[in-house]
């Protein structure tokens, strides 16, 4: 049995981006070998995403039947710093009523209180594609309230719980799934010590 180790660096890609690219491996393989299986040996991936980004930065609040979209500034937040951000009126332009976001460190939940609304209902809408519901502990649905509402779930400020390493030469295109075990702004490092259990059949 022949084993070849192929080194891939997304920086040296021939096209695409750092997370979806094409790479030329012709100078690292032997043309006279019929390769049957592939396995991820190790990897190092920069962990450089923002918690709030274009996929989670639109908070929609309906007042008096009118949807108001609040765009949360992209960046990394804790449960406290996000509440502080949302409690600054300058970050909630166009809203008629007053809002207070309170973080409960003990329960890991966020409470939202509306005031100056004369008991009128407010609707939180987490039905748009780029909503922050999972981050601040809500389900992706609509919530109607006129006083205080508390998130139904725990807040989740570490949304990336796993990473799929994909390749179009294996079935389903998923070569391996990595679960990070360190919560930090650094690199996700992985070393595979179970080749026989994690290899995939090459499909083309």
- pLDDT category of residue 182 using cuts at 50, 70 and 90: low
pLDDT of residue 96: 96
For 197, how many CA atoms within 13 A lie in the half-sphere containing its CB?
3
pLDDT of residue 131: 97
pLDDT of residue 161: 67
Domains of the chain, residue spans: 58-150
Structure tokens at 138: 């809500």
Taking only the tens place, the pLDDT of each residue in 5-19 is 999 999 999 999 888
- pLDDT category of residue 31 using cuts at 50, 70 and 90: confident
**DSSP summary character for residue 202:** B
Place of tokens 């919530």: 143
Q: How far is CA 25 from the centre of its chain?
A: 30
The model's pTM is 0.68
Cβ contact 68:94 at 8 Å: yes
């Amino acid at each position: 049995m022949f084993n070849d180790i192929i080194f891939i660096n997304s920086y040296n890609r021939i096209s695409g981006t750092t997370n979806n690219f094409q790479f030329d491996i012709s100078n690292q393989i032997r043309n006279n070998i019929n390769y049957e299986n592939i396995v991820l040996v190790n990897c190092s991936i920069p962990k450089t995403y923002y918690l709030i980004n274009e996929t989670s930065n639109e908070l929609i609040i309906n007042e008096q039947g009118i949807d108001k979209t609040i765009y949360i500034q992209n960046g990394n937040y804790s449960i406290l710093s996000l509440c502080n951000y949302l409690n600054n009126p300058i970050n909630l332009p166009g809203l008629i009523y007053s809002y207070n976001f309170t973080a409960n460190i003990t329960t890991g939940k966020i409470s939202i209180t509306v005031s100056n609304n004369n008991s009128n209902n407010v609707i939180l809408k987490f039905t748009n594609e780029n909503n922050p519901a999972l981050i601040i502990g809500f389900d992706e649905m609509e919530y109607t309230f006129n006083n205080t509402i508390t998130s139904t779930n725990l807040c989740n400020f570490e949304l990336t719980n796993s990473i799929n390493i994909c390749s179009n030469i294996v079935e389903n295109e998923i070569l391996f799934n990595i679960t990070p075990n360190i919560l930090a702004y650094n690199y996700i490092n992985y070393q595979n010590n179970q080749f026989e259990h994690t290899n995939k059949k090459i499909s083309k």
